[in-house]
Chains A and B, each alone.
Chain A
Amino acid sequence: MTGPIFIFLVLAAVAIAGAVSLILHRHPIHSALSLIVVMVALAGLYLLMGAEFVAAVQLIVYGGAIMVLFVFVIMLLNAGEEERTNFSTLATYGGVPLALGVAGLIAAALSRAGTETLPAAAQGGAVSSTRSLSMLLFSEFVYPFELTSFLILVAILGAIVLAQREN
């Protein structure tokens, strides 16, 4: 087994273990921490693909900012352990077939896309990956990029409006 594949398997196992423990843990703080483990493992996977910039941003934005906010809110509300409720009928009867269906869909997509190459940003190599990524972001994908920023701005404004209405 070569080095990169070994590292990939370790990181993938850590990510999946984190995701499983996210669902199984009953305390919100533990679940949030499991999610951080998933984020960090994903950053490691990006690093393995040579996308250093994306890995660092994954850690800064998801691992740092967003998850700190999660943990902060859970701590602030002092949320206790979640209580088990009876499963909904949809989850009981539809859950397993739906999960299998989604898994099959992903597997089919992966097996079909196996031969396709990655976009240029990921291929640029470690040296120019940041530069080529920003070139793509501000030329070819500038409209989706700006639209996403606009969407986030609208979401922030909406949150402020909702919070103000309470008072």
Chain B
Amino acid sequence: MEFLYKYAFIIVPVIKVAILVFIVLTVDAYLTWLERKVIAHIQARWGPHRVGPHGLLQPLADGIKFVFKEDPIPAGADRVLYFLAPFLTLVLAVTSLGVIPFGPGKFTIWGYTTTLSIVDLNISLLALFAITALGVYGIALAGWASNSKYSLFGGLRSSAQMISYELALTLSVVGVLLLAGDLSLRGIVDQQYIPNLGFLSWNIAGFGKGYGVTQILGFACFFIAAIAETNRVPFDLPEAESELVAGFHTEYASMKFAMFFIAEYTSMIVVSCLGTILFFGGWLSPFPDSWTFTHYLPSLLLIPFGLWVIFDGMRYETIFGRIILPGLGIAIAGLGIALAVFRPLNDFAQGPFWLISKVLLSLLIYIWLRGTLPRLRYDQLMGFGWKVLLPVSIANVVITSAVMFWRMPR
């Protein structure tokens, strides 16, 4: 025990990193399942439903398939860079999660007090942008090192797109930074909190501790630029299959292809967390503080869901359905009951509950967009980025600072 107390400052962060990576990879896997299910239902299909109940084991089956597939290297490829590219992409995507705070709470393990994030930097927003700025290389190098024309064009398009939209992304955040006067994500959330104002004090509504400037314009720019930055529909030009086969990852197979895929979903999660924190009050509840009954909302959602999972699992005649689904349901319902009964646990879980709900909603919108919108043409994409998005985000900076200057107490 003495050992644990002495080295808690190094053991606790390592455990936190391991837990975060485990959770994120699991969420990534089930995000692919959710995406296939939702898009299938949008298109009046069933989606995956063969492997396990509701196709729930499909991500696992895909993972096993990826591991055992042949992994050819194209002739004339630059071997070092060809191997480096997927690693770089995945490592940077997962690293950027490290600066995101998942809740306000603090807890102490072995005499070491820590927060619900891997690191608490006072420039965490800039650190996040620095990491995503390096993320371009993974895709550009994958395209170049594959020694294939489709890959090369995919990589070129991707790097051009990411450079262009990164400007708009960074500028759309400046309004929030002006209001917060702080570069740390924690500080930005704190600035959006006013007791008993609920969601009105978030940056999107604009009645926070600032000067009453709404950031709707900033959020619109951020949202569009973030979709382009993560290479998703309708901005998935780098991998437009009708023109480029599969874009920068045409020549990648097996686990290396899976790494690009995991990185894409991880950066979706990162961008969703960032949007939630910057514009939607992060872990703040949308209800006024005096409505204490809303603290039972997590239990109210978890207990019926858990009971439904138990009921649903009983109907299956397979082992997975009969044992694992009811077990899972009991765990979910038990968590809901524990949250309702234990007051400190309930208080601690409020922040993460709201953050996770908002992030899940934003991920659902991502998937919804993919099921709805057609792809843009390449010149339209670049024209939109430079001629519309960039001026609008600069206008947002000017408007925000003008209103702040006008209302500043003198």
- A133 CB to nearest B CB, Å: 11
CB–CB A76/B156 < 8 A: yes
Residues of A within 8 A of B143 (CB): 75
- A34 CB to nearest B CB, Å: 12
Please give me the residue from chain A that is nearest to B167 by CB atom: A65
CB–CB A56/B129 < 8 A: yes
Residues of A within 8 A of B127 (CB): 52, 56
CB–CB B81/A29 < 8 A: yes
Residues of B within 8 A of A63 (CB): 130, 133-134
Residues of A within 8 A of B133 (CB): 59-60, 63-65, 68
Bound Cα distance A57, B78 (Å): 31
Count, chain B residues at interface, CB 8 A: 27
- A30 CB to nearest B CB, Å: 8
Please give me the residue from chain B that is nearest to A62 by CB atom: B133
CB–CB A29/B144 < 8 A: yes
Residues of B within 8 A of A59 (CB): 130-131, 133-134
- Proximity bits, A70-113, B CB within 8 Å = 1, else 0: 01100110100000000000000000000000000000000000
Please give me the residue from chain B that is nearest to A56 by CB atom: B126
Q: Counting CB contacts under 8 A, is B123 at the interface?
A: yes
Interface size class on chain A is 20 to 34
- A61 CB to nearest B CB, Å: 9
Q: Counting CB contacts under 8 A, is A69 at the interface?
A: yes
Q: Counting CB contacts under 8 A, is A126 at the interface?
A: yes
- A74 CB to nearest B CB, Å: 8
Bound Cα distance A43, B123 (Å): 14
- Proximity bits, B110-143, A CB within 8 Å = 1, else 0: 0000000000011100110111011011001101
A63-B134, A72-B140, A130-B183 given as contacts; is B122 within 8 A of A52 (CB)? yes
Please list the residues of chain B having a beta carbon within 8 angstroms of any beta carbon in chain A. 78, 81, 121-123, 126-127, 129-131, 133-134, 136-137, 140-141, 143-144, 152, 155-156, 159-160, 162-163, 166, 183
